[in-house]
Amino acid sequence: MALKVRINGFGRIGRTLFKIIFDRSEDIEVVAINDLGNINDLAHLLKYDSVHGVWNREIEVKGESIFVDGKELKCLSVPNLEQLPWHDLGVQIVFEATGLFRDRASAQKHIDSGAQKVIVTAPGKGLDATFVIGVNDEEYGPRNHQIVSNASCTTNCLAPVVRVLHE
């Protein structure tokens, strides 16, 4: 059974995260996204990326969903986090990729709406922990860490090098 995740914010980071999960993982399923943008624009930006080029997938919009190679991606446009139906969708993990909800109180609203865990894709404040793969990710504990951050792109680039120099 696949881990069910949802992405809040379908900008560059949200779309890139979706593509990585879609292309590389059979164990993770993105069941929904939430973004205030127009669904046709979101589908277009998913297909055509100014940096990575054209994504070689069949993409079409039907109603309130984007279909990627026939697989449905539910698209929500809910500005109020308290109204997100994560429990109804069986969402286990939310990737908070808007850049707006980076503090604990804001990210907690995803859990209050039914998600089990939240990963903030930017530096956060007051979260359970911040992890950088290859630096401190072995410290992750599922019981102690419900709302975490994966730091910033700068930190993820620099921290492994600094760790080697420090050791």
| pLDDT confidence of residue 20 | 94
Q: Which of the residues are catalytic?
A: 153
- How many Cα atoms within 13 Å fall on the side-chain side of residue 122? 17
Q: Which residues contact 106 (CB under 8 A, 6 or more apart)?
A: 81, 100
Indicate the helix (H) or strand (E) that contains 164: helix 153-166
Locate tokens 């504990």: which residue?
141
Q: Which domains does the chain carry?
A: 3-166 (3.40.50.720)
Of 123, 101, 99, the closest CA to residue 110 belongs to 101
Render pLDDT for 104-113 as a digit per residue (tens, 0 to 9).
999 999 999 8
C-alpha–C-alpha distance, residues 89 and 139, integer Å: 30
Indicate the helix (H) or strand (E) that contains 54: strand 53-54
Render pLDDT for 41-79 as a digit per residue (tens, 0 to 9).
999 999 999 999 999 999 999 999 999 999 999 999 999
Please state, rounded to an integer, the average pLDDT across all residues of the chain.
91
| pLDDT confidence of residue 163 | 77
Render pLDDT for 80-130 as a digit per residue (tens, 0 to 9).
888 888 788 888 999 999 989 999 999 999 999 888 999 999 999 999 998
| pLDDT confidence of residue 2 | 86
Global pTM value: 0.90
